[in-house]
Amino acid sequence: MTGIVLIGGRSRRFGTDKVMARMGEKKLIERVTDIIAPLFSEIILIGHVREGLEGFHIVEDLTPGQGPMGGIRTALSVSKTPHCFVFAADMPNLSRAFIEYMISVADDHDAVVPIWSKGREPLHAVYHRRILPKIEELLGRRVFRIFDLLSAIDTLIVEEETIRRFTDPALTFANINTMEDLRKAT
């Protein structure tokens, strides 16, 4: 399984490139990659190359402007493994134990996605390469919602009760969208 971190967002609400923002001693992207590095033999960042990301394996979106679904398409297209675990770059409090659990239940499912009281988390999810034709079909029709994809494939939902055995979902799925979010998280 390949670890994928989507870094393509525009950071409009944040005001500057949040992937490069410092959270304590590290950049936000380093917080994410440091947590997942022991779990994957390869980590690929999907999005645009920019200064400060030297040393990371970055692949630019095959078709920019298609949002996270386009990033997942790119990930599945370039990965050498059948499964990709896709993370958002702005979730600095990932739980290694919960990620290991999700990997362990991926089996032959097309996707493994956690759900909790605040909703589904499609950017903390496992995707299998075989869904690539479905993604390409949806993108060809200009359908960019990942939830449209998830309803059309074999998706294993990881319920909140299971998530809580490993971590607090409010902490794990908290993302940094504004400077205030960054201040609260530090």
The full set of domain ranges for the chain reads: 2-185
Q: What is the pTM of this model?
A: 0.94
CATH architecture of residue range(s) 2-185:
Alpha-Beta Complex (3.90)
Mean pLDDT calculated for residue range 143-157: 97
Three-class SS of residue 10? Answer: coil
What residue spans of 52-131 are helical by DSSP H?
Answer: 67-78, 96-105
Three-class SS of residue 28? Answer: helix
Bigger pLDDT: 52 or 77?
77
Bigger pLDDT: 184 or 1?
1
Residue with tokens 């970055």: 58
With a cut of 90, say whether residue 14 has pLDDT above it. Answer: no
Read off the DSSP letter of residue 46. E
**What is the C-alpha to C-alpha distance for residues 155 and 152, in angstroms, rounded to an integer?**
8
Tokens coding 153: 């494939």
pLDDT value of position 96: 98
pLDDT value of position 73: 98
